[in-house]
Structure 1
Amino acid sequence: MMKSFLAEDGARLAYCDAGEGLPLLALAGFTRCSRDFDYLARHLPDVRLIRLDSRGRGESQWTGAGTYNLMQETRDAIALLDHLGVARAAIIGSSRGGLVGMMMAFTARERVIGLCLNDVGPVMAREGLMRIGTYIGVEPAVPTLEEIADRMPAAMPGFENVPELRWEQETIRRYVQTSHGVTLPYDPELRTAYEMAMAAPAGDAWPLFEACAGLPLMLARGVNSDVLSLAVADAMLARRPDMIRVDVPDRGHTPFLDEPEVLEAIGQWLERCGHGEQERPHLMVASL
């Protein structure tokens, strides 16, 4: 069940807080929402899973392109922890959510227990980002979710051997069926925010990654990803040889997080984040 709180600027943001144990803050990708972690959630016993709909996405308030930036989203994530009275949390971030996690480590390290990055790093391939930009804010041209599900495999490069049911599940997480057709579950002004970010000079995000020094760190990378290159993933591992890394076959940007090899790696990472004091949690690996 989704709840809400007020951010520092009065924006009403939605979140889900379920379970008990290690606080685990889940942050989704640029146009995605907390439902992205539905697949993972069922495999996480003994964890307090806190999922945020970033502003402009999911059930959170639309606040305009000027507020859809990394610093504001980092402040929002910290504000959610404050609202819940959570001093420190492990963070799992997919794509943009991973950048927010690194920024939290850079600006508020005392709030971060560990960081799991899902197909994101300090350098993201411009070609992949431009591909993503082709559909941000674009209303679907077909009237039903069923038609979108049929087209989903072709629209998701790098994803192979994905069951039809998973594409149906993805469709209802990416689009909303209305009486007038299919619409987007986020503010179309995210496209303006994306264009502003792409037009700005590229910054050096390696200091954000370096800020994670000493924190339990994990990286899941889609083998076929066009956003996080093999070279960047290798460079991340070279700087952090203790980083748990899993390269997920048949996946592009971003893995679903319930792939068996990813679940095994997340179990190891959670153990490092604090489960080492207890019996290691058993992640229930179900067939895809």
Structure 2
Amino acid sequence: MPKFTCPDGLAVAYRTSGQGTPLLLLSGQGNGMGWWDPIVADFESDHLVIRFDYLGTGGSDAPASGYSLGRFADDAAALLDHLGIESSAVYGTSMGGKVAQQLALRHPARVNSLVIGCSSTGGPNTLRMPKEISSRIADPASKEALLTDLMYSSAWTAERPGPYATLGEAKTPQARLGHRRASNGHDAWDQLGAIAVPTLVLHGSDDLMVPPANADLLAGRIPNAQVRIIPGGRHAYFEECREVASPIVLDFLAEVLAAPSNDSK
């Protein structure tokens, strides 16, 4: 697996596949590029798909500290530099949706369109999961079963016994804690008005981990953002409802690509 070296010497693993215009995929909390394995083929016919392992996951280095969404966004920009890509479409889900926001804010020239899935603005305006659910996630005895139920419907998992790529692969306790603190510390509410690229906000209607009302809150802060709610989708709507969700993303990106540039005469 190829890697590139960040300015501070840490190594980040990445992968490219497919062909066409660039599409950077950003994974959820505590997960690397394997988060996208079940559906990456949906995008490879139309896009050069770019994925990477956040620090602390997969083939990337796992430092004892230094985890932040800003760092993950900077690493994404450094990867585009490494690949010689000036700008890319970006699709981030869950924590990856927060990293996508940070990338668009910190490196606006690198993002030409944005898809944010099952995510939020962060901060005090976020609608959070019920406390009875979050307290059960903290219990190791019930965590995996509860996370699976939050990610997927029971009917879907009954036919697909797993393992599931979305349930986390942080390499060390420090990495797991670092990812959780980074995601929980996100608050872009006051900055999101600066995002000027076409933006699509996706969410599953049955998401209890990040309640779907967050989609409207998020889109309300980003100028001209569109919202699409996936009926029956839980937190991993992009996998369980891929037959609906992936075409929505592909159609949106195709429309952006076909739209006249603001610089056109």
TM-score, normalised to structure 1, is 0.75
Tell whether 2:226 aligns with 1:244.
Answer: yes
TM-score, normalised to structure 2, is 0.81
For residues 50 and 133 of structure 1, what CA distance do their matches in structure 2 show? 35
Q: Give unpaired runs (5+ residues) of structure 1.
A: 142-147, 176-183, 278-288
Question: Residues 125 and 226 of structure 1 are in contact (CA less than 8 Å); yes or no, is this contact kept in structure 2?
Answer: no
Alignment size in residue pairs:
254
For residues 135 and 21 of structure 2, what CA distance do their matches in structure 1 show? 35
Q: 1:223 aligns with which of 205, 213, 225?
A: 205
In the alignment, which residue of structure 1 is the partner of 2:119?
A: 120
Superposition RMSD in Å:
3.2
Tell whether 2:247 aligns with 1:264.
Answer: yes
For residues 19 and 137 of structure 1, what CA distance do their matches in structure 2 show? 40
Cα shift readout 1:82-102 (whole Å, capped 9, x = no counterpart): 111111011111111111111
Tell whether 2:236 aligns with 1:254.
Answer: yes
For residues 272 and 203 of structure 1, what CA distance do their matches in structure 2 show? 30
For residues 224 and 161 of structure 2, what CA distance do their matches in structure 1 show? 34
In the alignment, which residue of structure 2 is the partner of 1:60?
A: 60
For residues 208 and 192 of structure 2, what CA distance do their matches in structure 1 show? 20
- Equivalent residues in 2 for 1:9-88, closer than 5 Å: 9-44=8-43, 45-64=45-64, 66-88=65-87
Q: Shift in Å at residue 116 of structure 1?
A: 0.7
Q: Secondary structure at the match of 1:115?
A: strand
In the alignment, which residue of structure 1 is the partner of 2:6?
A: 7
Cα shift readout 1:196-234 (whole Å, capped 9, x = no counterpart): 558x8x664123432323x12112212122343333322
Q: Secondary structure at the match of 1:48?
A: strand
Kindly tell me: are residues 46 and 74 of structure 1, through their superposed partners in 2, closer, same or farther at Cα, counting changes over 3 Å? same
Question: Residues 158 and 224 of structure 1 are in contact (CA less than 8 Å); yes or no, is this contact kept in structure 2?
Answer: no
Q: Secondary structure at the match of 1:168?
A: coil
Q: 1:189 aligns with which of 166, 170, 174?
A: 174
Question: Residues 29 and 94 of structure 2 are in contact (CA less than 8 Å); yes or no, is this contact kept in structure 1?
Answer: yes
Q: Give unpaired runs (5+ residues) of structure 2.
A: 261-265
Kindly tell me: are residues 163 and 228 of structure 1, through their superposed partners in 2, closer, same or farther at Cα, counting changes over 3 Å? closer
Matched to 1:53, the amino acid is D
Q: Shift in Å at residue 121 of structure 1?
A: 2.0
**Bigger CA drift: 10-19 or 242-251?**
242-251
Cα shift readout 1:135-178 (whole Å, capped 9, x = no counterpart): 5896xx7xxxxxx9xx74774236323144544151x6647xxx
Question: Residues 25 and 92 of structure 2 are in contact (CA less than 8 Å); yes or no, is this contact kept in structure 1?
Answer: yes
Question: Residues 100 and 114 of structure 2 are in contact (CA less than 8 Å); yes or no, is this contact kept in structure 1?
Answer: yes
